[in-house]
Chains A and B, each alone.
Chain A
Amino acid sequence: MKSIRRLGMALGTTSLVLGTVTVGATSMAQTALAASKFHACVVTDTGGINDKSFNASAWKGLEDAKKVFKNMTIKYLSSTSSTDYVPNINNFVHQGCGIIVTVGFLMDKATAQAANAHPKQRIAIVDDAPTTKSKNVLSLQYETDQGGFLGGVLAAGMTRTGTVATYGGMNFPAVTLYMNGFVAGVRYYDKTYGAAVKALGWTPGKGACSLAKCAGDGSFIGNFTDQTAGKTLTTNFFSQGADIVFPVAGSVGLGSVAAAQQAGKGHSVMWVDSNGCVSDPADCSWFVGTVAKGVESSVKAAVLSAAKGTFKGGVYVGTLKNNGTALEYGGITVPKALKAKIAKAKAAIIAGSLSVNPNSYPAK
């Protein structure tokens, strides 16, 4: 033990010497690199830029921004685990990126750490309610319960069996916020139009939902990859009488599509995050709609603001109003009357006169 401590002291002394030398050296290297072009960089989560989900959407946002702002190079680094976040962000800090986009709440701490260590570094973090406020961090949040609400109204209006269902990948707020809004939409439809549509797969908890906390019980796969489990669960819902299923579980949802195809016409799927008819056109006829999250557009806006020098830290909240979340129709024809009901609800939510909290519409 003694010898270990001595070793530690020796190393500590060295660190002091080195520490004094390093001060102020990095900023110089940064400016040297950054002078010529604007670099927009994204650190993805473990999914990588081809995950057909948020990471892909964030990367798409960068690509879209590059089309607008020509003098821009875009780069990405994918993380293989949470231990990669800090070095990946640091890597881009050292490369002099004009803005670094980080994806997902799991990067919250690493992002805050980098933001505090490099107060001039502009950072945008997707889908996170930051636990530490930093002036140079823009947090992109999406009130997906608003979009989910409209999805619930659509499903309730479309169902022929009087039962709809939802399930999630895992019991996280980013997932359950959708499901909560969906159930609220169904209940709102029941109450407003005197219907008796049942929503399976999610029982809202008490209180309102936010990106940091959205409690309740429901059906979860346990991951975002097991399509077979998604198919099994969906078939299960069908046998309980449901005909429309809303999976909030990334690619697991493809299992639901397979289940609907197997069950045959009259069964459909509500897609999530990005328009199903665009990302998976072959299955468009099985999608009744998509509850979308505006990751691309918000990332693009954040990058462009950084490039133009108008970047400001804080919180961006994606709502129905600013298209940060939306309901998009799929390949199944929706009656005009129902579309009108949905438009009415949307307007009311934007106006703030309609609650998306399911507890406002107690289940019968």
Chain B
Amino acid sequence: MSDLSTDPQAPASAPSAPAAPARRRWRLNSRSPIMITFYALILGLVVGALVIITTTPAVLDSWRGIFHSGTGIFRALKVTWDNVGAAYRSMFNGAVVNPANLWHSITTGQGWEATLTPLSETLTYATPLIITSLGVGIAFQTGLFNIGANGQAVLGGVTGAVVGSMVHVPMIVHLPLTLACGFAGGALAGLVPGFLKAYTGAHEVIVTIMFNYVIYAFLLFSVLSTPFQQPGQQNDISRTMDSSAQLHPLFGAASGLRVNYGIVVAALAVAFAWWFLERSSMGFDFRVTGANPAAAKASGINAKVVIILVFVISGGLSGLAGVVQVASTTHYIDGGFLIGSAGIGFTAITVALLGRNKPGGIVWASLLFAALGVGGRAMQGTTGIPLDLASVIQSAIVLFVATPVLVKEIFRLRAAPVVKLELATKGWGA
């Protein structure tokens, strides 16, 4: 496209040659996705702080006090600092580790449960999120939007929980069967939109969104009107999965830590996704299709097959996430399972974007989102600041990641000329 980029005929003796290595390193740094994400995280926290300041009465009062009761600006600053600090401290303590607890545990050898709970909670939340986001990410890499990941997760959860609670076999069979059925449920939920897209050209965004509602309705039906409903209950609650179908806590139920064997499933899913996207021939077809459908067709890739397979794999992973969610935490399903703000299938879309649809990136993005969610909960419990602040920070991070130019501008990263060059020469031909 551009006659300016890596031109083999570029003169070797450029005047600025001596400065080149240093400049290149700087450019690499400031343009690298990891750094952008890091800066976006900082900006997200700043936005969060602004929200705290403008919504916490104590902070607002302290600033009003400067004019009314004559309290000093330093007091106002201190109140602000204390409030924002307390919020973020409780967030960190609740999502990673409370330093006081850690010190207590190290010095006395006791209280490990309290010390490790935050990390355990973050991992517990991240586990299904990672798996769903992988599914969404694979679809994205193929150029397809799987907005139906949530419905697929719900159906996977339902099918998995049905098998987990109504089939009674030894664990060695039961657990794999349950997980496989969860995958199959999600894959089935993905197959329908995939088929419609491939053979009728129906837009996958519309179909998957609509299919979500179909599945939500099916969920309610299944927990209200079938033998799957908890016996003796008229409420929208399902049977409980057999112990042999559950993903048990890693450190035993007595540990009080909820982190569970689901992370083994997640790790396997990450390994699979990495192999699939980066190493497999089929994944190569998927990426080619995503990057250039016309070239994919000309190279002999069957777009219909790819589209259907993408939705089967993407949906299957979402379904696996759904069953992992049930099998690892509640062990039963209710009518609100994964619906509303708990819909990991929707969070997964942002997580996949944040992780740039790469398995490694998705792991980190999931952990970050899980930590913000879990930390937000702790913050709400200790400081009373609503959990929604965590969502604000999450959204702000994604926003900043999506607009790297803005981030660079704010942090005065002088990679700007490179960006401008790309923009200026786009579509100009040579």
Contact = CB atoms under 8 A, between A and B. Distances in A.
Interface of A: 4, 7-8, 11-12, 14-16, 18-19, 21-22, 24-26, 28-29, 41, 46, 75-78, 80-88, 90-92, 94-95, 105-106, 109-110, 117, 131, 170-174, 176, 212-215, 222
Contacts of B249: 15
Interface stretch (B204-212, B291-299, B311-319, B376-384): B376-384
Contact of B341 (A26, A80, A170, A212): A80
Contacts of A29: 101, 104, 111, 114
Contact of B256 (A26, A76, A109): A26
B378 to A, nearest CB: 7
Interface in B331-347: 332-342
A80 B343 CA distance: 9
A85 B237 CA distance: 14
A22 B337 contact: no
B264 A75 contact: no
B111 A78 contact: no
Contact of A80 (B124, B325, B342, B384): B342
A80 B387 contact: yes
B70 interface: no
Interface string B321-360: 0000100011011111111111000000000000000000
A14 B120 CA distance: 14
Contacts of A215: 234
Contacts of A19: 251-252, 254-255
Q: Is the interface of A mostly helix, strand, loop or mixed?
A: helix
Contact of A222 (B121, B220, B232, B268): B220
Contacts of B378: 91
B111 A28 contact: yes
B101 A88 contact: no
B113 interface: yes
Report, nearest first, the 10 A-B pairs whose CB atoms are least far apart: A81-B342, A15-B251, A25-B111, A25-B110, A22-B113, A80-B342, A80-B341, A83-B329, A22-B112, A15-B252
Contacts of A83: 325, 329-330, 342
A30 to B, nearest CB: 9
Most interface-central of A8, A25, A28, A95 (chain B CB within 10 A): A25
Contact of A82 (B250, B254, B330): B330
Contacts of A18: 112, 116, 251, 255, 257
A107 to B, nearest CB: 10
B261 A8 contact: yes
B235 interface: yes
Interface string B107-125: 0011111101100010010
A19 to B, nearest CB: 5
B221 to A, nearest CB: 11
Contacts of B174: none
B258 interface: yes
Nearest to B128: A83
Nearest to B115: A25
B382 A80 contact: no
A109 B332 contact: yes
A92 B377 CA distance: 11
B55 to A, nearest CB: 14
A83 B329 CA distance: 6
Contact of B255 (A15, A81, A109, A172): A15
Contact of B258 (A24, A82, A86): A86
B369 to A, nearest CB: 13
